Amino acid sequence: MSASRLFFLLGASTVRNCNKPTNISSPFSPFRFTKPLLSPVVRFRSYNCISATIEPLVSPKNHPWPEWVAFVDRLKSKGYITEKSSSTGEDGDGSIYTDMNLLKDACLNFSRDRSDIFKKLSTQDMQKVVEKGCPNLFRKVVNSAKRLRIHLNLDEGEVCGACNFRGSCDRAYLILKESEGVARTVDIVRVLLIYAFDSAVISSGAMPPGSELIEVSARQLLSELVELSETPIDPDHPTPAPKASPRKKQSVGSRTDGLEDVEMKRRDLTGLE
């Protein structure tokens, strides 16, 4: 039978029945879809689900410690960080919580203004922060940690013996002289600043053994600083006198001593080194 003859016999029946659902499964059965294959609503929800899975929950510009964020926010509210400086943070996006260049002076200025709150901070948490050594080899940071250990009556020899930097630290096992000052708020804040900006902390990477206890105490101390910053300044607390740095005698024509003096001044300007 020719194709045209077959179409003539079956065509009309096919056209009449194409809109009726059929339960006959056959290669020649007409197709009828009672529902759309792809629902726009389902497709939209699926897209949102994937986006929620791959999108980071915390912006990499933010700091992983809520206590640090609260401390920085308090510095802003107290005027230690101006609107102009905070709006020109890292990459110009206004995120300042991981910008050490911007926060360093604000932290140190606050701690110098609030030297009266030092003795109200937890000595137990301060001990956890400094009893295993110093956070880095910057001279001012090391001296701050040493002053804190003197204040806490910790054995400097034992601490230096357990410190990871003992092999490369030029001040290991050195006991500070009385003239080098007593521990103040600026000392603990300087140490906390270094721990808060540790690359492993900011990136939420692997931490060395024992760092968990230091982190817990550091964050607790930051919370205490936020709380104590709201208390009025003690008018009876003596303001620490600025310490004059001893000047070295320089021989006439000694270019080396001059260069070293310039380098020392540059390091002093950083507030940390």
pLDDT at residue 88 above 50? yes
**Number of Cβ within a 10 Å radius of residue 269:** 9
Residue-wise pLDDT for 226-235, tens only, equals 999 999 999 8
**Number of Cβ within a 10 Å radius of residue 142:** 24
Q: What angle do CA 194, 195, 197 make, to 5 degrees?
A: 65
Residue-wise pLDDT for 39-62, tens only, equals 443 333 333 332 333 333 334 458
Amino acid identity at 273 = E
pLDDT at residue 121 above 80? yes
Query: What pLDDT does residue 203 have?
Result: 77
